[in-house]
Amino acid sequence: MPSEVQIGYRADSGQVLAIRELPRPDVVPTELTFRYVKTRDLIDHTNRKPAEINSRYARLLAQVALLTLHDVFTTTTSEQVREVTVTCVLDARSPATGQMERQCLVSVAATRDEFDSLILAEVDPIRCMTGLNALVSPNPYDVEPVRPIFEPDLGRFRTIKAQEVAARLDHRTVLMRLTPSEFEHLIRELFEARGMTSWVTQASRDDGVDAVAYNTDPVLGGLCVIQAKRYASVVGADAVRALWGVMEDKKAGTGILVSTSYFGKATHEFAQRNERVRLIEGPHLKQLLQEHLGLDVLTGAKPPPASQRWRTEA
């Protein structure tokens, strides 16, 4: 059994990310029984059926994931760790590229309360993974990967300690009067309120990223890079092109351009051609802040021209 485990920890939220190396599929013996044949003076054997080999390997991977959750929760306190995400990976050759790549076969997240409710000696590992809404490879023996719940390489981003901004604001707040840092942290709080895990990146060294968010939804989820534009008038098309470049560089599934104002025709056309880009303009941002953070604020930006007004109203 491989012993390599990488650990990431966020003290502010009590979250742990564990990346666990998995044993290779050949760890399951293909032989089922052995028999000594005296007349030929040799040991003969019968083989396991492929379905049994696959089943045993899948069960082993579920046990490794549960063991990793157990090790983290039982060696920490409830004040230190409140949630653990385990990503189980295996280095294997990709059938698409022929290159050796790290493949995720199991990804599971659990809170301390969820884990404490389990009686590990009595559970079926496979069913337990289902109960925890884990993402498990449908064909682990053939190393068919799944998308991890949590992107394991957020070390590519220089993140900073979160600040609470929303609690200090009231209905008289004008977004344009916030500092750039306050506005970025407010956007982070907005995405967290929408169920995403979010960070603000370090100023001046963020490679064009103001915030990073991660959606754990297995269908619509994934890594998202965010640019927050505290503008009084139109945001130029160069902003969305720069965002696209950052998405490619960071291998992000989605890019979100947020502004207190509005975007021009070229920016909207770019987003329509590239569905991985999302635009949030001033009126929509105001609506989201009201809906998710209970803030009735003013943007402080100029209204768009008549030719663009239908876009923001939509």
- pLDDT at site 183: 86
149 inside domain: no
Q: Note whether 141 and 92 are within 8 A (CB).
A: no
Which parts of the chain register pLDDT below 50? 152, 154, 156-160, 203-208, 217-220, 310, 312-314
- pLDDT at site 314: 39
Q: Note whether 107 and 134 are within 8 A (CB).
A: yes
Query: Does residue 162 share a domain with residue 291?
Result: yes
106 inside domain: yes
Query: Does residue 179 share a domain with residue 93?
Result: no
Query: Does residue 162 share a domain with residue 115?
Result: no
Of 142, 171, 188, at which residue does a domain stop? 142
- Cα end-to-end distance, the chain, whole Å: 55
172 inside domain: yes
Q: Whole-prediction pTM value?
A: 0.51
Query: Does residue 271 share a domain with residue 211?
Result: yes
Q: What are phi and psi of 34, to 5 degrees?
A: -125, 145
Query: Does residue 55 share a domain with residue 27?
Result: yes
Query: Does residue 159 share a domain with residue 133?
Result: no
Query: Does residue 250 share a domain with residue 160?
Result: yes
Distance, in Å, from the CA atom of 125 to the CA atom of 116, rounded to the nearest integer, reads 15
Q: Note whether 33 and 50 are within 8 A (CB).
A: no
- pLDDT at site 14: 83
Query: Does residue 165 share a domain with residue 43?
Result: no
CATH number at residue 176: 3.40.1350.10
Distance, in Å, from the CA atom of 50 to the CA atom of 286, rounded to the nearest integer, reads 57
Query: Does residue 125 share a domain with residue 180?
Result: no
148 inside domain: no
Q: Note whether 299 and 261 are within 8 A (CB).
A: yes
Give 44's strand partners: 35
Query: Does residue 42 share a domain with residue 14?
Result: yes
147 inside domain: no
Distance, in Å, from the CA atom of 283 to the CA atom of 65, rounded to the nearest integer, reads 44
- pLDDT at site 228: 85
State the DSSP string of 292-311: HH----B--PPPPPHHHHHH
Query: Does residue 222 share a domain with residue 260?
Result: yes
Domain limits for position 99 = 5-142
31 inside domain: yes
Of 81, 116, 142, at which residue does a domain stop? 142
Query: Does residue 262 share a domain with residue 197?
Result: yes
Of 88, 116, 142, at which residue does a domain stop? 142
How many domains does the chain contain in total? 2
